[in-house]
Amino acid sequence: MNTPTAPHILVIDDDASVREMVSEYLSANDMRVSAVASGREMFEAVEREAIDLVLLDLKLRGEDGMQLARSLRERATLPIILLTGRSEEADRVMGLELGADDYVTKPFSPRELLARVRAVLRRYQVQATLPERDHTRRAFRFAGWEFNLRTRRLVSPAGVSVELSNGEFSLLSALCRAPGRVLTRDQLLSMSRLHEAEVYDRSIDVQIRRLRVKIEVDAASPTLIVTERGAGYRLASEVETLY
């Protein structure tokens, strides 16, 4: 069974059989898959979910796949693999020029598709370490949790959505941006970028306690947001960043 930490792939194809085949194969290889049939559904999914990679068919009925790819690239920096026909060389070249990361020609081998998806994901994981990409973060994953910055949505390892206050959201964002580092109250106040009326010095302790109640197995004995006495707080988990 796939977990929220598995790469989340979005498939856009108006052929139900292709959607089913791709979804089943990628799911069997430790990926989460969402499959839709139109550009509208694609953009809704990208806004709503933390998507790791998009598989976009260029020949959707009644839609310009190239324009969809262009619009998607303008909105997000997530990886795009195009699904094209064997005779559509011009479309493949144009798609790559628009910023798509790769393409797969139909009919394709599921094994080839999986290999290309994994290769593109690896490239983006390497690029994600570059500091100039810092401002483009879309989501964090840690200890099975998924924290979507765009939708302000926190999802538990069991797939349950957890509501966050403004203060909790900003403090969790700050902790996720510096995993493993001890952050003082002043640093958390600065990194959370909240107005003084919302979070100030000692009230950070209150916000941290409330956040622990929501994400810790036992808030009285926290293992994720750890107190470093006399220093501050630390997120004691590896964090995966999505862009």
Q: What is the pLDDT confidence band of residue 73, given thresholds at 50, 70 and 90? A: confident
pLDDT digit string (tens) for 180-215?
999 888 788 777 654 443 444 457 788 898 899 999
Res. 86: pLDDT tops 80 = no
**pLDDT average, residue stretch 128-137:** 50
Task: Tokens for 107, please give them.
Answer: 């009919």
pLDDT for 129 equals 45
What separation, in Å, do the N-terminal and C-terminal C-alpha atoms of the chain show?
25
Query: For the ranges 22-31, 78-87, 115-124, 220-229, which has the lowest average pLDDT?
Result: 78-87
Q: Which position has the higher pLDDT, 72 or 201?
A: 72
Mean pLDDT of the chain: 84
Res. 149: pLDDT tops 70 = yes
Q: Which position has the higher pLDDT, 35 or 184?
A: 35
Q: What is the pLDDT confidence band of residue 96, given thresholds at 50, 70 and 90? A: confident
**pLDDT average, residue stretch 95-107:** 80
What values do phi and psi take at 102, rounded to 5?
-170, 175
What CATH number does the domain located at 134-242 have? 1.10.10.10
* Alpha-carbon separation of residue 176 from 108, 135, 198 (angstroms): 39, 13, 20
The pTM for the full model equals 0.62
Cα angle 119-127-55, degrees, rounded to a multiple of 5: 45
Are 177 and 194 in contact by the 8 Å Cβ rule? The answer is no
Give yes or no on whether 8-127 and 134-242 have one common fold: no
Cα angle 191-195-200, degrees, rounded to a multiple of 5: 75
Q: Give the residue extent of every domain in the chain.
A: 8-127, 134-242
Handedness of CA 109, 111, 117, 119 (dihedral sign): negative
pLDDT for 12 equals 96
Task: CATH number for 8-127: choose from 3.20.20.70, 3.40.50.2300, 3.20.20.80, 2.40.30.110.
Answer: 3.40.50.2300
